[in-house]
């Protein structure tokens, strides 16, 4: 069986957005699911608009998503000699010809066609002139006058276009550079691409590309055109719907595996299942499950999927993504046991890594600043004794685990006659500066004995110094 080879060919005229990332994902998954190959090609023939910044951003986004490639990145601007060879082949075998019609000439042809109720198109004026190459000549493909070009699509089914509706389109500009359709077909042909999955906005180009394959006497790849992603209002996805670059979602604290999970569900399904790991997707993905209807982008659903992935991921895996967010808050953290413990206390309550970094900040702080409301309510003189006793009993623990922590607090409760809440809340404020945190025991275990004891004693000292400095 022929090895499956897919590709993703972004144009570096902007950043990688949701639609492009989904296309890359579908092609990558299909290759990985079938032990195939995935090729990355940068279509940079629009040299006026293509930038290194966009190229770098696209590569960075793909790397963040974990979409790796087996070949590339290949750049079209480095392949002009290859295109030139294939264009000359088409001219030599009579499938293409030089044309010296001006833009004004072609527009006049279109106006004449419109006037007679026909489709406005080039009329083939230079087809049989046998013109040589010239300074102002383009190259056109000689398309069939009769019959139809059929697109066999694994998603949409078969569609056809009468060849009389396709004019002799340009495959090379007058400056010698290739047109999009020619470059794409030559690239796919020479790179061995045999499966092309892309958005259905490209379907308009497919009949022309099929004609180029036929003129080159080459086998056709398998085509699959997936419906576009729409906003909640069923309009084409735009920035107002959340159609930001992939890099922006990274900066908002989404996990790459959550993005993959959400992106794949924009046009692919496996029953009613919503949650998939990366390995799940590679195992289950198939072209047969691609949908024929447009998908709706939903930020709330993305956030829900992200929260599920945070909850279900290994803390060590999350740490690598969290550390840059902590760094933005001035925290130097390592991918170590301490950070893993911190993450473990926050996974159930974090929707994204921004939330998690906010929640993790107190663990790394050198000193705790108490929120005014929390201080007034819980750091009162009556809290000094239970705080000191809590610190003493925790400090005395030989085995620092949850069971022994519970026993330590029970001893404080017995000696002070206070309920657990009356002790735990002052301790919570002492450790975090706030009244909201993970569970008291899991938080203490993550924070560690030394920091816990130091902070509790510091809070007791703070209360006493504050009282001593209060004027009588």
Burial call 89-127: b when 16+ CB within 10 Å, e when fewer: ebbeeebbbbbbbeeeebeebbeebeeeeeeebbbbebe
* pTM exceeds cut of 0.75: yes
1 pLDDT exceeds 80?
no
Checking if the pLDDT of 66 tops 70, the result is: yes
Q: Pick from 364, 387, 404: which residue ends a domain?
A: 364
What is the predicted pLDDT for the residue at 434?
96
Share of the chain above pLDDT 90, in %: 93
Of residues 239, 292, 373, 410, which has the active-site annotation?
A: 239
Same domain, residue pair 129 and 149? yes
Whether residue 452 sits in one domain with residue 372 = yes
β-bridge pairing 170-172 and 157-162: unpaired
Q: What is the pLDDT of residue 390?
A: 98
Which of 201, 226, 251 is the C-terminal boundary of a domain?
226
- Say whether both 95 and 150 belong to one domain: yes
Residues 54 and 95 in one domain: no
Residue with tokens 């290194």: 52
- What proportion of the chain, given as a percentage, has pLDDT over 70? 98
How many distinct structural domains can be found in the chain? 4
Q: Which of 306, 322, 340 is the endpoint of a domain?
A: 306
Q: Is there a single domain that holds both residue 92 and residue 203?
A: yes
Query: What distance in Å separates the CA atoms of residue 250 and residue 352, rounded to the nearest whole number?
Result: 10
**In a shared domain, residues 20 and 119:** no
Q: What is the CATH number of the domain that holds 417?
A: 1.10.10.350
Kindly indicate the confidence band of residue 467, based on its pLDDT and cuts at 50, 70 and 90. Answer: confident
Of the pLDDT bands very low, low, confident and very high (cuts 50, 70, 90), residue 178 is: very high
pLDDT at 47: 87
**Residue 380: active-site member:** no
The whole domain housing 155 covers: 79-226
112 bridge partner residues:
none
Q: What is the pLDDT of residues 17-63, one digit of tens each?
A: 999 999 999 999 999 999 999 999 999 988 889 999 999 999 999 99
71 and 144 share a domain? Answer: no
Q: Do 246 and 295 belong to one domain? A: yes
84 lies in the same domain as 70: no
Q: Residue 239: pLDDT above 70?
A: no
144 and 99 in a common domain: yes
Q: The domain that contains 291 carries what CATH number? A: 3.40.50.620
Is residue 203 domain-shared with residue 331, that is, in the same domain?
A: no
Q: Are residues 87 and 220 in the same domain?
A: yes
Q: Give me the mean pLDDT over the 105-119 stretch.
A: 94
Length of the chain: 472
Model pLDDT, residue 270 = 96
pLDDT tens string 289-317? 999 999 999 999 999 999 999 999 999 99
Using the predicted structure, report yes or no on whether residue 472 has a pLDDT greater than 60: no
CA pair distance 87, 90, nearest whole angstrom: 5
Question: What CATH number should be reported for the domain holding residue 338?
Answer: 1.10.8
CA pair distance 203, 262, nearest whole angstrom: 24
195-199 and 170-172 strand pairing: unpaired
Q: DSSP string covering 307-345, please?
A: HHHHHHS-HHHHHHHHHHHHHHTT----SSHHHHHHHHH
């Amino acid at each position: 069986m022929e090895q499956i080879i897919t590709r993703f060919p972004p144009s570096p005229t902007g950043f990688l957005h949701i639609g492009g990332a989904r296309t890359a994902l579908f092609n990558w998954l299909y290759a990985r699911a079938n032990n195939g190959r995935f090729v990355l090609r940068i279509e940079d023939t629009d040299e006026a608009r293509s930038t290194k910044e966009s190229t770098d951003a696209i590569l960075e986004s793909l790397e963040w998503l974990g979409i790796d490639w087996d070949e590339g990145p290949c750049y079209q601007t480095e392949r002009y000699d290859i295109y030139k060879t294939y264009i000359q082949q088409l001219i030599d075998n009579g499938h293409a010809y030089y044309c010296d019609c001006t833009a004004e000439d072609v527009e006049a042809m279109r106006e004449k066609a419109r006037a007679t109720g026909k489709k406005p198109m080039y009329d083939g004026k230079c087809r049989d002139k046998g013109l040589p190459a010239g300074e102002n000549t383009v190259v056109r493909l000689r398309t069939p006058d009769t019959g139809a070009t059929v697109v066999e699509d694994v998603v949409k089914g078969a569609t056809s276009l009468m060849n009389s509706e396709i004019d002799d389109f340009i495959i090379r500009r007058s400056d010698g550079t290739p047109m999009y359709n020619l470059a794409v077909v030559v690239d796919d042909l020479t790179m061995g691409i045999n499966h092309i999955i892309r958005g259905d906005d490209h379907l308009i180009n497919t009949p022309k590309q099929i004609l180029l394959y036929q003129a080159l006497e080459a086998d056709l790849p398998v085509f699959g055109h997936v419906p576009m992603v729409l906003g909640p209002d069923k309009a084409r996805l735009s920035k107002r719907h959340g159609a930001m670059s992939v890099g922006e979602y990274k900066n908002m604290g989404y996990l790459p595996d959550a993005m993959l999970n959400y992106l794949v569900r924009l046009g692919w399904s496996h029953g009613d299942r919503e949650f998939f790991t990366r390995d799940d997707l590679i195992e289950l993905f198939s072209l047969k499950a691609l949908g024929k209807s447009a998908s709706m982008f939903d930020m709330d659903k993305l956030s829900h999927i992200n929260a599920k992935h945070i909850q279900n991921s290994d803390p060590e895996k999350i740490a690598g993504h969290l550390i840059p967010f902590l760094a933005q808050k001035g925290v130097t953290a390592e991918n170590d046991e301490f950070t893993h413990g911190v993450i473990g206390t926050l996974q159930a309550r974090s929707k994204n890594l921004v939330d998690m970094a906010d929640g993790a900040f107190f663990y790394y702080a050198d000193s705790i600043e108490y929120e005014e409301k929390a201080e007034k309510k819980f750091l009162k003189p009556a809290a000094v004794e239970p705080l000191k006793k809590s610190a003493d009993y925790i400090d005395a623990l030989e085995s620092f685990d949850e069971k022994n922590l519970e026993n330590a607090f029970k001893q404080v409760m017995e000696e002070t006659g206070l309920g657990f809440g009356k002790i735990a809340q002052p301790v919570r404020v002492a450790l975090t500066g706030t009244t909201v945190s993970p569970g008291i025991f899991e938080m203490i275990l993550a924070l560690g004995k030394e920091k816990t004891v130091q902070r509790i004693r510091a809070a007791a000292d703070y209360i006493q110094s504050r009282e001593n400095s209060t004027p009588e």
